[in-house]
Amino acid sequence: MPESWIALDRMEALKGDANIQDTKAAWWRLLRWPFAAAAFCLIALFAFGSLFTTFMPWDDEGYFLLSYRDYLNGVTPYDSIYSFYGPYTFLAAGLFTAFDVSNVSHDGLRWITLAVWLGIAVLFSAAAFGRTADFIAAIVVLLSIGLRLNGLSRAVGHPQIWIIAALAVLLCLGTAWLTGPRHVRRAFWVGLIAGTILLFKINIGVYVLIACALLASLQLADVRWRNGSLGVTFLAASGLAAAMTLERVRGRDERWFVLVYICSLAAVLLTAWQRRPRPDPLRPAAVVWFSIGLATAVSFGIAAILATGTSVMGLWEGLVLGPLRLTRGYHWPFYDANNTASLGLCAAAAVLSAAVLAVTRSPRRVTAVAWLKLVAGTGVLLTSWYDPVAGLCASLLLLWLVVLDAPSKPVAYLDRTFLAVLSLLYSLELFPIAGDQIDWATLLPTVAAALMMADGTRALAEQRVVIRASFPVAAATVCILVAGVLGISAGTRAVQMWNRWQSLESVDLPGTIWLRLPPVETARLRLIATSMRKNCQTVLSLPGLYSFAIWSGVTPKERRRINSWPFLFGDDAIAKELRDSKSGDCVLVSEITYDLFRMLARFPSSDELLPSIPRTMTAIVSTEDTPIPNMPFEGKRIILYQATAPR
C-alpha cells in the first residue's frame, strides 16, 4: 500500500477521534448545568433550614435589628446608636431593606442573609472556575463554601456577611491590574471594595490593604525598591499583626497559631519572589486608579454617615476607639490551635511540604509536585469538611503550594499569590474572639485547596505523554470522589434541615412567622415577650436581649445599646440606669448569657450588680434559660424584674 494512502488513513482516524472527543466535550458542557443547579439547590435548602431554625441566646441579631430600626427612624448613628462597626453597616442595612423600617424584622433579615449566602457561594465558585477552568473544582468550592457558611445562621444581621461577600468580589476581580497596561482601570474597583471593607470593619480593611500592598511590592520594576517594599510590608503583615495579637494571648495555643501564620506568610512570599519569569511590572496608573477607588469608598461612607447628624467625635469613637476598646475588653483564645488533632495535621502538612522541597530537583519534578499538590488540596478539602477547626492551621501551612508551579500565565501566579496572602491576613480576625470567626477563616483556604487539587490534576493531564495513562484518570477520579463526598454531605444535611424546619413550631411573634424553634424555646420567648408587653413601660436588659423589646413593643431604657457588650464600660453605666428606675420600669436578666460575657471579658467587674437587682425589684417571670452548647453553664434562668416604686 502506498505511503500516501497510509498517511491518509491515519489522518482520517485522527479526525474521527477528534470528532468523538468534540462530541463528548459538548455533552459534558451540556450536562454541567444540571449538576451545578442541583448543587445550588442543595445549598439553598440547607441554608434555608439553618437560618430559619436558629436563634442564638445572646441575641446579637436583636441588637442589630434595633440599631437598624433606630437608624431608619432618624436616630443618629454612633452618637445615639452604640456601634463599633463602620458606616457601611448602616448604609447596607438601609439599602437592602429599601430604607423601610417595616422590612427590618427577624424574618426579613434572614431572607436577605439567605440571598447573600447563596451569592457568596456562587462568587467563590466563579472565582475558582476563573482560575482553573475546572468545573469539578468550581462545584467543590460551591458545596464547601455553602456548607461552611453555616455560621451565618448564628450571626443574622451581622456586617461580617458583607465583608465575606466583598472578599469574594475581590477574588473575582482578580489581579490583572497589577501587570501590564490593559486592565489598570480595574484597580479602581479593587480600591473601592477595599475601602468599603475598611468602613465595615476597620481591622479587616487594614488587612486587605496590606495584602494589596504585598502584591504591589512584588510587582515593582526596580529590584531594590521591590525588595525593600516587600520587606516593609512583610513586617507590617507579620510583625505588627503578630505583636498586636501576642499582646493579648494567654497561652501556647495562640502563640502557636501566630508562629504558623508567620511561617506560612514567609513561605508564600518567598515562593512568589522566586517566580521566574516575572510578569510585567506594576504601572503607576494602576496605583492612581486604586487610590481613587479607595478614596471614593472612604469619603462617600464618611460623608453619608455625617449627613445623618453624626458628630466627628462620635464617628471616631465608633470606627476606631470602639474596636480598640473591644479588643482590650474581651478575649476568647483559639484553644484548638494546638490540640492533638491540629498538631497532627500540622505535622502532616510539614512532611508534605518537605516532600515537595525534596522533589524540586528531581527529573520528574513536575509530575511529583502535581501529585503532592493533589494530595494536599484533597486533604485540606476533606479536613475542612470533617473538622474545619482542627484543620485550619494545617491549611495555612500549605498555602505556599498554591503559588508553586502556578500556570504559566502571569495573572494566574498573581491571583494565587493574592489568594494565599489574603487567606493568611484574614485569619487574624480570630483575635480577640475566636468564635464563629474560625468558620470565616477557613473559607479562603478552602478555595486555595480546590485550586491546588485542580492544578495537580491539570499538570498530570499535561504530562500524559511521558507518564502512565492511568495517572491523569486516577487524578480526575479523586476530584470526582471529593465532589461526590461533598455532594452527599450537602444532600444529607439539606434534607435534615428541611425536616427539622417542618417539625418545629413557628415562633409567631412580630416578624417571626417563618422562624421555627423547638416548642419549649418558642413558649419561653412568647412568655417573656407577652409579660413585658403587659407589665413594662421600659426595659433594661442584661445583657442586651433586644429582640424582646422588638417583639413586645417596649422601649429599651438605656440611651445607647452598650449592654450588648457588658463590662466594656464597667458597672457604673448600667447601675446609673437602675438607680433611675421608676414604677413600670423592668429589667430582663439572662443569667447564662451574662455569665458567658463575663467569661469572655478580660477585666470583668464585680459580682455586685446582679445580686442588687432582686433586692430592689420584684421578679414577675422566671423560667429556665436557653442552654449554650459546649458551655459550662447549668441551672441558669432568664428573669424579668419590675420596679414597683420610685428609686
Least confident among 150-159, 172-181, 487-496, 519-528: 172-181
- What crossing angle do the helices spanning 388-397 and 340-358 adopt, rounded to 10°? 30
Q: 523 and 479 share a domain? A: no
Residue 513 placed within a domain: no
CA nearest neighbour of 86 among 321, 325, 315: 315
Q: What is the pLDDT of residue 26?
A: 62
Work out the end-to-end distance of the chain between its first and last CA atoms, rounded to an integer number of angstroms: 114
Give yes or no: residues 476 and 562 share one domain.
no
Residue 192 sits in the same domain as residue 229: yes
The pLDDT confidence band at residue 578, using thresholds 50, 70 and 90, is confident
Asked, for residue 8, whether it belongs to a domain, the answer is: no
Q: Report the C-alpha gap between 67 and 65 in whole angstroms.
A: 5
Whether 327 and 366 map to the same domain: the answer is yes
Q: For position 28, what pLDDT does the model report?
A: 58
How far apart, in whole angstroms, are the C-alpha atoms of residue 298 and residue 88?
10
**The last residue of a domain, from among 464, 496, 528:** 496
Task: Quote the pLDDT of residue 242.
Answer: 66
Residues 460 and 574 in one domain: no
Give the integer Cα–Cα distance in Å for 81 and 71.
Answer: 8
Query: 618-624 and 637-642: which strand pairing?
Result: antiparallel
Q: Provide the pLDDT for residue 179.
A: 87
Among the listed residues 322, 68, 63, 297, the one whose alpha carbon sits nearest the alpha carbon of residue 199? 297
Q: Using CA atoms, how far apart are residues 57 and 66, in angstroms rounded to an integer?
A: 16
By the 8 A CB rule, do 619 and 639 touch?
A: yes
Q: What is the pLDDT of residue 241?
A: 65
Phi first, then psi: give them for residue 407, nearest 5 degrees. Answer: -50, 155
If asked whether residues 464 and 550 sit together in one domain, one would say: no
Q: How far apart are CA 569 and CA 113, in angstroms?
A: 31
CB 447 within 8 A of CB 192: no
* 444, 590: one domain: no
Cβ(75)–Cβ(81) below 8 Å:
yes
Sign of CA dihedral 192, 327, 161, 435: positive
| Nearest-angstrom CA–CA distance, 117 and 164 | 9
* Cα separation, 293 vs 48, whole angstroms: 35
Percent of the chain with pLDDT over 70: 89
* Angle value at C-alpha 117, between 196 and 111, nearest 5 degrees: 100
> Structure pTM?
0.92
Task: Check residue 12 and give its pLDDT.
Answer: 47
Q: Is the pLDDT of residue 9 over 50?
A: no
Residue 646 cell numbers, joined: 420610685
Region 198-218 average pLDDT: 94
Q: What is the distance between the alpha carbons of residues 78 and 323, in angstroms, rounded to a whole number?
A: 13
Query: In whole angstroms, what is the distance from residue 502 CA to residue 359 CA?
Result: 55
Question: Averaged over 124-151, what is the pLDDT?
Answer: 95
Question: For residue 46, what pLDDT is reported?
Answer: 98
Residue 150, in any domain of the structure: yes
For residue 190, tell me if it sits in a domain.
yes
Distances (CA, A) of 479 to 397, 449, 454, 591: 22, 12, 8, 49
Secondary structure, 3-state, 288-347: HHHHHHHHHHHHHHHHHHHCCCCCHHHHHHHHHHHHHHHHHHECECCHHHHCHHHHHHHH
Would residue 408 count as lying in a domain?
A: yes
256 & 398 share domain? yes
Q: Average pLDDT for residues 200-225, to the nearest whole number?
A: 93
Q: How do residues 269-321 score in pLDDT, each as one tens digit?
A: 999 998 877 788 889 999 999 999 999 999 999 999 999 999 999 999 888 98
The set of residues, in sequence order, having a beta carbon less than 8 Å from that of 150 and lying 6+ positions away, is 46, 50, 439
Domain termination site, one of 465, 496, 527? 496
Per the model's pLDDT, the better-predicted residue between 256 and 16 turns out to be 256
State how far the alpha carbon of 245 is from the alpha carbons of 30, 255, 433, 631, 636, in Å: 50, 9, 11, 25, 33
Pairing mode of beta strands 555-556, 538-542: parallel
492 lies in the same domain as 529: no
Q: 489 with 588, same domain?
A: no
Q: Tell me what the mean pLDDT of segment 475-493 comes to.
A: 94
Instruction: Assess whether 530 and 490 both reside in one domain.
Output: no
Residue 244 forms part of a structural domain: yes
pLDDT at 188: 96
Q: For residue 212, give every residue at least 6 positions away whose Cβ sits within 8 Å of its Cβ, in sequence order, or none.
A: 190, 194, 290
State percent of the chain over pLDDT 90.
59
The pLDDT score that the predictor gives to residue 10 is 44
Say if 511 falls within a structural domain.
no
Tens digit of each residue's pLDDT (9 = 90 or more) over 14-24 = 444 445 455 55
User: pLDDT value at position 2?
Assistant: 44
Region label for 405, one of left (φ > 0), alpha (ψ between -120 and 50) or beta (otherwise): left
Amino acid at 263: C
* pLDDT reading at 38 higher than 50: yes
For 574-580, what is the mean pLDDT?
Answer: 69
pLDDT in tens, 601-620: 877 665 667 777 888 889 99
Instruction: State the number of CA atoms in the 13 A half-sphere of 411 facing the CB.
Output: 15
**pLDDT value of residue 24:** 52
Q: Which of 413, 428, 423 is nearest to 443 (CA)?
A: 423
Please give the mean pLDDT across all residues of the chain: 87
pLDDT of residue 436: 87
481 and 542 in a single domain? The answer is: no
Q: Is residue 330 part of a domain?
A: yes
Looking at residue 138, what is its pLDDT?
96
CA triplet 451, 475, 469: central angle to 5 degrees?
135
Q: Which residue has the higher pLDDT, 68 or 434?
A: 68
Q: How far apart are CA 17 and CA 127, in angstroms?
A: 33
What average pLDDT does range 27-42 have in this prediction?
84
How confident is the model at residue 14, as a pLDDT? 42
**The domain containing residue 381 runs over which residues?**
13-57+78-496
Number of structural domains (the chain) is: 2
Residue type, 364: R
Q: How confident is the model at residue 469 (pLDDT cuts 50, 70, 90)?
A: low
